Structure 1
């Protein structure tokens, strides 16, 4: 939990620095974020590669884990349909479009803004950021209450990058390949599903 809180603290610090213009204008934040993410993935790769048991577990992976992304997508959309019943001013398609971001806020919010306007785009941005933050903060509790696959399902499309270190720490290195596969498949589905529900 302490590690997750540190990550969130840095996120909040970044918001403050950006809002107060504490960083030089010449600094390309997008490039800096990309390099930081690459470094993060590199060190996760080192930790996985140094453990021969983890590499062996990739070969022995149960094919049923391939169903996890489909269950995440289906469960998220089912939850969105339930939420739409509680929000009469929002259609089921709108709620499903927002949920179909699966934590990929940078892409889904842009698509939704183009189709539905800035208000819906902002809701999508906040909703998907909250999904990622919940995965970061609640990972140890999710593992304890629901099992090792729970943080992966909650993380959605972020499980192949930003939430991967937390998932590796609390769910175990043996589920790293499941997490990456899950993130890739849900990430791939975002464009199609968000566009589909925005078009309805």
Structure 2
């Protein structure tokens, strides 16, 4: 029930922000964007610090890092392929971030932004690892939660002030089909790795069904299976989230901009939502929230189901 409560809190924060933003429609555009950027950087930094201060995660990076990276890559690749093959509509993004007339300038922007984001995460990891003694008393998880809450409120406020059409997004067929394609692509991609790492069918499906929600999938598989499977689920979904952060600015500008939502998995409703909204356009935010919400509801059902049924 905790995850349902958490999803409810996230939706409430976005809704309150949307209502307030709608009251000041058209104003404070630059201030809102600057606020969201600052909060986003703080969230990525805190994410890196959490990784750096977790000795278990750092140790596991060496022993099971290859398996985790393989699952992260294959679930994303599978998601991309399935979404392209079964794409309903091919459109370039509308209201994308800072389109330029020069292709050279566009390439510079495309590479600069994701490099900035991953650099912030790496700085956080470095800080957490080398200054762990000074940071161990800080409630990093609680701080990250508050930062995320501010961020989601800001995204909702921005959606309201920009006049995002939520009703149209919910009527869009992609609101239902996009998460289905993400599920199929992720599971197929992970399933292909089964013979290479000596895993059972149930193990591969359960790991792949995390959809980027590393905290829940890691804990569930640790309880159901072994710490080894739990560690793979944890790291592979952390890596999926990190890879998504890097790829979202690129995929938002393709003929299939919804790929930026699909690869984010369950995180499209929270951590990666500001990036999706920033690069794909404000109109993508409602679809991203629906996509992430449905996948978040699916994770606690699919992970144990796959492990129990196919093992």
Q: With structure 2 as the length reference, what TM-score do the two structures score?
A: 0.59
- Cα pair 1:58 1:177 within 8 Å, conserved: yes
Question: How far apart are the structure 2 equivalents of 1:68 and 1:135?
Answer: 16
- Cα pair 2:253 2:280 within 8 Å, conserved: no
What CA deviation, in whole Å up to 9, does each residue of 1:37-74 have, x standing for no partner? 0111121112111112x1xx222234302221111111
- For the pair 1:23 / 2:23, whether they are aligned, the reply is no
Q: Which residue in 2 is equivalent to 1:10?
A: 120
Question: How far apart are the structure 1 equivalents of 2:153 and 2:117?
Answer: 18
- For the pair 1:82 / 2:184, whether they are aligned, the reply is no
| Structure 1 segments of 4+ aligned residues over 6 angstroms from their partners | none
Please state whether the residue corresponding to 2:263 is helix, strand or coil: helix
- Cα pair 1:148 1:170 within 8 Å, conserved: no
- For the pair 1:59 / 2:170, whether they are aligned, the reply is no
Question: How far apart are the structure 1 equivalents of 2:210 and 2:294?
Answer: 12
Aligned-residue offset at 1:106: 0.7
Match for 1:143 among 247, 252, 263?
A: 252
**Superposition CA RMSD, Å:** 1.7
Q: Which residue in 1 is equivalent to 2:230?
A: 121
Question: How far apart are the structure 2 equivalents of 1:50 and 1:28?
Answer: 33
Q: Which residue in 1 is equivalent to 2:278?
A: 169
Of 103-112 and 18-27, more deviation after overlay is shown by: 18-27
- Cα pair 1:4 1:166 within 8 Å, conserved: no
Aligned-residue offset at 1:22: 4.9
Structure 1 unaligned regions, length at least 5:
none
- For the pair 1:105 / 2:218, whether they are aligned, the reply is no
Match for 2:160 among 49, 73, 86?
A: 49
Question: How far apart are the structure 2 equivalents of 1:160 and 1:13?
Answer: 25
Which has a greater percent of helix?
1
Please state whether the residue corresponding to 1:18 is helix, strand or coil: helix
Aligned-residue offset at 1:146: 5.0
Q: How many residues align?
A: 196
Structure 2 unaligned regions, length at least 5:
1-109
- Cα pair 1:80 1:92 within 8 Å, conserved: no
